[in-house]
A = this chain, B = another copy of it.
Amino acid sequence: MSEESIIYVGNKPVMNYVLAVVTQMNNGAEEVTIKARGRAISRAVDVAEIVRNRFVPDIDVDNIDICTEEIVGNDGLTTNVSTIEINLKKDS
């Protein structure tokens, strides 16, 4: 069984992603990484905070990384988009 799971946060309601993270935790994952880019970054932070404060008290933010990705559009132009990775880990 994988010890680390990744949840990609997009444009769905926040609680969909919260449920996904909580499910991974209940299935035995020790770590969950929440990834998002662009405007979904705010939602990713909401997901981490809601999981931590309301659903899984014995979890903590282990690390947060921000980064830039180049996206090539259909017209061949590249645009930069910011990304975030929030690593949640069970207290040991």
Partner of A86, one of B66, B68, B80, B86: B66
Whether A82 sits at the interface, judged by CB under 8 Å, is yes
Interface string of A21-58 (1 = CB under 8 A from B): 00000000000000000111110011011000100000
A42-B41, A45-B84, A82-B42 as given contacts; A61 in contact with B68, CB under 8 Å: no
Partner of A82, one of B46, B67, B82: B46
Contact across chains for A66 and B68 when beta carbons are under 8 A apart:
no
A46 to B38, CA, bound (A): 8
Query: Which chain B residues border A65 with CB–CB below 8 Å?
Result: 64
Known interface pairs A39-B42, A49-B82; 20 further A-B residue pairs with C-beta atoms within 8 A, sorted by A's residue number: A38-B42, A39-B39, A40-B42, A41-B41, A41-B42, A41-B45, A42-B42, A42-B82, A45-B66, A46-B82, A48-B66, A49-B67, A49-B68, A53-B68, A53-B80, A61-B66, A64-B64, A64-B65, A64-B66, A66-B86
